[in-house]
Chain A
């Protein structure tokens, strides 16, 4: 998981200017939990996503969610990594597809409403992000 970790971890900011897009920034963090049993103590490594939407003051920041990390095939000899997580909000859920390649994070947000409402339809958006913080070391 080490290579994937280095590709994904850190804070990312949107490439689009103010007033465009849904997400302002994305933070991908590592969560290390210690699991104790009668005989052993093990560290379990998981990953979390924290999304700050645009207009966060009005809506409130989205809750952090655990995500699953996936390896990608290489594109132009560059390794990639992807992650999948779902943010549950009061009225809707947003399934996040994150993919890092060549230093760019691409986020597809699959938004649907929790309760079926004929006046509202599910939609998908795609946004790009660059690193806002230095890369994480090994």
Chain B
């Protein structure tokens, strides 16, 4: 069942008289519970797709349908995580993770009276990413990798149907990044939300996604859709197996064509 559908979606940025086409004619569907990755050369409008799907930016052409409804304004209850963890420095890690509960219905109304229940839920999530002991610490007392883990927890605590990830591991060192792929996969296997990951790391895309979409140079179009049918759970060891490596090469070749064009 298609949950997110882009029908010839396009976006043109206007700044005064200048117009910059950022995304041209993106057409693809994402099934409920599917995890897709969008890769492509830098500046190809990957992040634009995020903004269009969540309704943060209105599409200038085509249409976007999420859960059977046409997107015309910011859709509610989506989980989002960016490269910048954007945690609030005046809140502890636990309070940061609890933030969506203070905003998303119906939790918002219950939050005050059932705080203990929500704290338990947040702690359970923090335990799965190995941060239980740091719940009382402030974000600036955590390392970059820990901040990104708390960011993922915040994006997931309200169990959104749709999780949008914009290069969430981009600023981390290689070891931490690979470790977090595992954390991310475990969370997805458990909760089975629909996930959209924007990344420029092809191994990351293949490790996490069911389908990888390759975009052309700006203005971005979808030039390739590759289904990844490797068995799950995938491990770091599987990233060195020939089947995995072949897919990465295939994607890399296609992107290279874009750079050459």
A binds B: no
